[in-house]
Structure 1
Amino acid sequence: MSEDVRLVAWVRGHVQGVGFRWFTRAKALEIGGLSGFALNLADGRVQVVAEGARDGCEGLLDWLQSDDTPGRVDGVTEIWDTPRGGYDGFAVR
């Protein structure tokens, strides 16, 4: 059983206007046990916040960095933290 963590990732590239947030939500639901959100930022990036088991968050991060995402990912910056809670499922904001 892995510990619960908080992943905050900022995804750079052509990631707005291509369904990126919706696919991220679908992937989080597919992995299961994750809560959080995906949000378009004014500078063109997408911010992804996910809380749950470390292996689930690592799986989501692996997907964010893969070639399976919609659009084009040029890079992902992430930080790891302790969960804060307060999310009801995984939302698109």
Structure 2
Amino acid sequence: MQFIRMHVWIRGVVQGVFFRQSTRRQAQAAGVTGWVRNCADGAVEAVFEGEAAAVASVVSWCHHGPAAAVVSQVDVAREPYTGEFSLFKISGW
């Protein structure tokens, strides 16, 4: 089993539409750890760690997000897996 880490920035109408809460639910259901937060520029930023297929599924979900979101851009950066997280949480700025 391969474990990976992805750092993701989601842009569009993604704040005030339950994007963070929905991301946490998606990540927890997939067994992915990390965090999600709103950014001052209106984007949502997240770090996902876990089994490669599970992380890929959550990143894929980020391309559309919850029903009220309008995602215009998703930037993804692969980073070294650290295993530093024990759960998935919503972070502050």
TM-score, normalised on structure 2?
0.90
SS at 1:42 equivalent: coil
2:33 pairs with one of 27, 32, 35: 35
| Structure 2 Cα separation of the partners of residues 29 and 91 of structure 1 | 9
Give the partner amino acid of 2:24: R
What is the identity percentage for the equivalent residue pairs of Structure 1 and Structure 2? 32
Any gaps of 5 or more consecutive residues in structure 1?
none
Structure 1 counterpart of 2:12:
13
1:54 pairs with one of 43, 52, 55: 52
SS at 2:58 equivalent: helix
Give the partner amino acid of 1:27: Q
TM-score, normalised on structure 1?
0.90
Aligned length: 90
| Conservation of the 8 A alpha-carbon contact between 1:36 and 1:49 | yes
| Structure 2 Cα separation of the partners of residues 14 and 59 of structure 1 | 21
Deviation per CA, 1:35-88, whole angstroms, max 9, x where unpaired? 10001000000001000011111101111113x524211110001122123223
Q: CA RMSD in A?
A: 1.2
| Structure 2 Cα separation of the partners of residues 50 and 21 of structure 1 | 13
Any gaps of 5 or more consecutive residues in structure 2?
none
| Structure 2 Cα separation of the partners of residues 53 and 92 of structure 1 | 20
SS at 1:17 equivalent: coil
Q: Which 4+ stretches in 1 moved above 4 angstroms? A: none
